[in-house]
Each structure stands twice: as structure tokens, then as C-alpha cells.
Amino acid sequence: MASIRFRNSRHEAQVRRKGHAPLSKSFSSKTAAKKWIQAVETDMERGEFKPRIDLTVGQLIKRYQTEVVPKQRAHQSTLVRCRRLRRELGKIRLSDLSPAHLASYRDERLKSITPSTLKRELSILSAAINTPIIDWGIPIPANPVRATRIPKYDDSRDRRLKQGEEQKLLAVAV
């Protein structure tokens, strides 16, 4: 159900729908308010509505650090990566986080780290975004990490045994 009321020389539009949090927004004209109501209701009916979440990526990662990371086995290295993610992406609103932000972060980080390290960082961010969806009941529409291209990396080793190393290994093994 939608309503428009005139308040403080502005038109305040309000949309209330079952299964969604109430939304309101102020406009200078009644027509703009009606257009906004129609757009929001259409998106809600189609299931395409993305609620504005005031939570930032930094706040999300901080909560993830305190509630989830301490229970993990490799929590020290995860904490270091979380701090990096908070420093780089922390000010972005979670509802505004897009694959474009992550692609920019990816390109910048690949100048100084290997693809495998980047993959670890992005998997932590992905887990931090999935946790509120599953465990905390925060309605995040989609995980943008899934829509970000992560470069492939070669996991194989290049090093060969130097002269004499094989003999030393065999001597120690016996």
C-alpha cells in the first residue's frame, strides 16, 4: 500500500508491502513521488527490488571478524586479509558494492600480489557477504563477488633440484 502526504513543503511518499520493510522518500513534486511509488511497487512485484542497506562493507567485515573469523582454524591470516579489505573497500555501502568496484580492486591488487592471494581475499569477502544473508537475516540482494572475474593461476612449481640436492635428500630420508 502506498501513500503520499504533504509535509514541510515536500511530498513524502511511503510504500508499505508485506515481506518488505516500509520505505519513504521526500520529493518536491507529487508527480515525482507517484513515479517513485510506481517504480518501487513494480520492482517489488517482480522480485527485483533491492532495499537500500545502510551497512558499509567495513561494518560488515568488522562484524564478520568478531563473530565468524575467531571460530576458524586459520583465523590470524584471515584477520590480516579482513583488515586489508576493510581499508580498501570499507567506505562503500553494501547495497552500492558492484562487480565494477571489485574489478577495480582486483586490478590494483594484482600489481603487487599473485592471483592465488587475490582469490583468497575475494573468497573471504564473498563469505562475509553470504553470512548476513544466511545467518543474520540481512536482506542482501546478490553477492557481487560471484559476478567478478577472478584470474586463473598456475599452481605448479617451477623449481628443479640443484646438483647435489638429490643426494642430500636421499641421505636424510634413509
Q: What is the per-residue pLDDT for 119?
A: 93
Residue 116 in any domain: the answer is: yes
Contact criterion met (CB below 8 Å) for 59 and 92: no
Residue 165 in any domain: the answer is: no
Same domain, 7 and 78: no
DSSP letter (8 states) at residue 84: H
Same domain, 28 and 68: no
pLDDT beyond 80 at 149: yes
Work out the average pLDDT over 148-169: 83
SS3 97: coil
Please name the residues in contact with 58: beta carbons below 8 A apart, sequence gap of 6 or more: 86, 89, 90, 91
Q: What is the pLDDT of residues 42-67, one digit of tens each?
A: 888 877 776 667 789 999 999 999 99
Same domain, 77 and 33: no
Q: What is the per-residue pLDDT for 8?
A: 86
Q: Which triple of cell numbers denotes residue 64?
A: 564478520
> What's the domain count of the chain?
2
* The overall pTM is greater than 0.75: no
Can you tell me the distance from the alpha carbon of 43 to that of 40, in angstroms, rounded to the nearest whole number?
5
Residue 98 in any domain: the answer is: yes
Residue 164 in any domain: the answer is: no
Q: What is the pLDDT of residues 90-136, one digit of tens each?
A: 999 888 889 999 999 999 999 999 898 999 999 999 999 998 888 88
Q: What band does 7 get if pLDDT is binned at 50, 70 and 90?
A: confident
Same domain, 34 and 79: no
Q: What band does 155 get if pLDDT is binned at 50, 70 and 90?
A: low
Give residue 123's domain range. 57-147
Q: What is the per-residue pLDDT for 52?
A: 67
Averaged pLDDT score across all residues of the chain: 87
Q: What is the per-residue pLDDT for 95?
A: 82
Best mean pLDDT range from 20-24, 86-90, 94-98, 146-150: 86-90
Same domain, 134 and 65: yes
Same domain, 98 and 123: yes
